[in-house]
């Protein structure tokens, strides 16, 4: 499994996370989630990239993003800065919305890539926000296991953003069901989860209240 290295390689994949400053809530209502998703859409229009998984929590978010010919920091700036400005204006806040700089870890092998996808999609379950990962609205998990049958606008937008081919391509024959079993199965991934948490500097203190 990989370790963090330098910031950017052409065509590299990263696990990216950013937190609310001092555990600030990043999304107060449904329109905030929608606005953040729209910022991702607009960033991709300007700086093409591939999004392999996404989960927006209350006070932080996770994504697996594959760059093409644009540095990761430019992509993240194009997502985070407009959202911060809009959020502060909407709620009459001042100062930094996000905690310093986002955290990123270079994904160097497919095993780690698959574990990152699992980790991202299980975040709401680990935080005890839902019992099943498919129940969480602001996650890309549904596109992997439910054949793109989302009804809510936010989930549909996420499904339009996220590409499943690389993750599901690891499996053979009924890949969606095999991925579901990989994510929701009873086999322990504790060692891999601990490594990812260490890479992302994440612990239980960052779970939503």
Tell me if 205 is assigned to some domain: no
Please give the model's pTM, rounded to 2 decimal places: 0.89
Please give the residue range of the domain that contains residue 89: 13-200
Tell me if 196 is assigned to some domain: yes
The gap from C-alpha 33 to its chain's centroid, in whole angstroms, comes to 13
Number of domains forming the structure of the chain: 1
**Each residue of 148-200: pLDDT tens digit?**
565 688 888 999 999 999 999 999 889 999 999 999 998 888 888 888 888 88
Closest by alpha carbon to 53, among 144, 132, 131, 137? Answer: 144
Tell me if 144 is assigned to some domain: yes
- Where residue 22 sits, what CATH number does that domain have? 3.30.70.1290
Segment 75-97 mean pLDDT: 94
Closest by alpha carbon to 102, among 77, 120, 83? Answer: 77
Tell me if 122 is assigned to some domain: yes
Tell me if 3 is assigned to some domain: no
pLDDT surpassing 70 at residue 4: no
Tell me if 132 is assigned to some domain: yes
Tell me if 5 is assigned to some domain: no
Please tell me the predicted confidence (pLDDT) of residue 124: 95
């Amino acid at each position: 499994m990989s370790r963090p290295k330098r910031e950017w390689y052409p065509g590299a994949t990263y696990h990216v996370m950013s937190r609310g400053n001092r555990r600030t809530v990043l999304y107060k209502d449904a329109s905030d989630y929608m606005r953040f998703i729209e910022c991702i859409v607009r960033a991709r229009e300007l700086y093409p990239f591939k999004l392999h998984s996404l989960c927006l929590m209350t006070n932080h978010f996770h994504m697996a993003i594959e760059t093409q010919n644009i540095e990761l920091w430019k992509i993240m700036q194009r997502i985070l800065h407009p959202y911060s400005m809009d959020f502060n204006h909407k709620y009459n806040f001042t100062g930094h919305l996000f905690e310093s700089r986002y955290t990123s870890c270079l994904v160097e092998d497919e095993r780690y890539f698959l574990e990152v996808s699992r980790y991202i999609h299980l975040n709401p379950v680990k935080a005890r926000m839902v019992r099943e990962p498919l129940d969480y609205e602001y996650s890309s998990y549904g596109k992997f296991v439910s054949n793109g049958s989302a009804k809510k606008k936010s989930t549909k937008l996420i499904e339009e953003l996220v590409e499943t081919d690389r993750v599901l391509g690891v499996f053979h024959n009924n890949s969606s069901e095999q991925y579901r079993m990989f994510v929701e199965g009873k086999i322990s991934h504790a060692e891999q989860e601990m490594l990812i948490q260490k890479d992302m500097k994440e612990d239980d203190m960052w779970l939503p209240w």
